[in-house]
Amino acid sequence: MKVFVKFDLNTTCKKILEEKLDECLIKFRTLGFGEVEFLEKVPEEKLKLFTESIRPYGIEIVENQKTVLIQKIKDTIVDMVFNEDTDVNVKSSVYLSEKLNHSYGYLSNLFSEITYTSIENFIILQKIEYTKQLIINNQLSLTEIAFKLNYSSVAHLSTQFKNTTGITPSTFQRIIKRRREIASKNIN
């Protein structure tokens, strides 16, 4: 049997962090996505245990300030793209500058220097991932997805989708539909 699941990355990561911190008996407070404040001096052994316990989930502690800011940029972009409450009409450059209290030029240059890609490309990748999720969950039409993700048209979304994945969103929809048909036949 095959099922499709929908999940919220922010909630999932936050829950994992909280559970692992509690298991390690570390007193903490979450400040925002990806930010945790320890409310006590944490012994090296506890910190190592915590670090090891989150590694299997692809979560790691970031210590370099530039790397911290890059992670904040990525987290802010993911939140901007995937968050239902985000105003779709706000420009990403304005959104990032306001959220991170840095000029967009500085954020953009730093991001490119460290990741070897642009913020704009990272945003496109996140939008395409979200588009795939929305198609898989069968929630919205391509027109609704294009509007939701602030594309000027379905053609613009389709072009970026094809440039990123190699196939059009319509082809992706057909593949998902066909897989569901095959899966339902295998169940019966």
CA distances from 170 to 31, 124, 128, 180 (A): 40, 18, 13, 15
State what percent of residues in the chain have pLDDT above 90. Answer: 41
- What is the phi/psi pair of residue 58, to 5°? 75, 20
pLDDT value at 179 more than 80: yes
pLDDT tens for 5-31 read 777 777 888 889 889 999 999 988 887
* For residues 26-55, average pLDDT: 85
Which pLDDT score is estimated for 89? 66
What are the start-end ranges of the H helices in the chain?
A: 9-23, 44-54, 65-82, 92-100, 104-115, 119-136, 142-148, 154-165, 169-187
pLDDT tens for 121-156 read 999 999 999 999 999 987 789 999 998 888 999 999
- The pTM for the full model equals 0.69
